[in-house]
Every structure is written in structure tokens, then in C-alpha cells.
Amino acid sequence: MQTIWKKNIDLSALNAMGENSLIEHLGIVFTAIHPTHLEAEMPVDSRTCQPFGLLHGGASVVLAESMGSMAGWLTCREEQNVVGIEVNASHHRAVASGNVTAVCQPLHLGGQIQVWQIEIKNPRGKLCCSARLTVTILG
């Protein structure tokens, strides 16, 4: 299977890029780089919950935007970068504990605009959030 990635990076280097940022603060860890999609996980704990003990919708959006931005960057030439220009998310069910897992795959890979679909699932594998991130390519 042909890969969509133009940058060659392994999981440890990808995770190191998130150090000293919101990615690290929320405990987001990239877990797999497949030829056509990325996978990551995030804990549901005091860093990511709202006051009622459930996963904060904003934390899910941070996970989605972090994944889509990294995926977009991986599909660009070395001198290019990406920035998010629009994100939306639908929250389908509450999560109170464990780790959520996410898969990020492209919906559109254009020369200037990319659109990424991110599905976040609870520990039982049920969809809890679906998000879409649009990024623009810089450089």
C-alpha cells in the first residue's frame, strides 16, 4: 500500500514534537502511523475532564486538531507547514474514565487545503466524538 506521508518520521520522534505543549499536557500519545492514517490516545482524567467528571468536549477537539495538524504536516514537503483554519466536532456520548482512542484520516488532500476526519472512541470502541479539521498549507 502506498503511503500518503511525505515526511519520514517514527512514533518516538512524532511524540517528541508534542513535548512542552498542550499535547503533552493532556497526555496525548500517537500510537500508530499507518500508510493512510494516524492513531492516538488520550487519558480521561483530571487534565481532560470537565467539573462533572466527564471528558471535556474541548479536550476532544484538542485531540482532533492535534492529530489533523500533525497528519497535515506529514503530508507536506520539507519546507512546508500547515495551520488549522476550521474545526468542528459532534459529541455523541459521554466518557467518564479510561483512555479514548482516535483515528485520523484524510477526506481531501489538495495543493492548498486539506480536510481530515477524526473519530474518537471510548474504551469499549463506541464512537464518542467525530470531528473534521481543515488546514491550509504554508510555504
Residues noted as catalytic = 65
Residue 85 grid coordinates? 483554519
Structural contact between residues 133 and 87, judged by C-beta atoms closer than 8 angstroms:
yes
Distance of alpha carbon 130 from alpha carbon 103, whole angstroms:
10
In 3-state terms, what secondary structure has residue 85?
strand
Structural contact between residues 120 and 71, judged by C-beta atoms closer than 8 angstroms:
no
Q: DSSP for 103-132?
A: EEEEEEE-SSEEEEEEEEE-TTS-EEEEEE
For residue 129, give the nearest of 21, 54, 29 by alpha carbon: 54
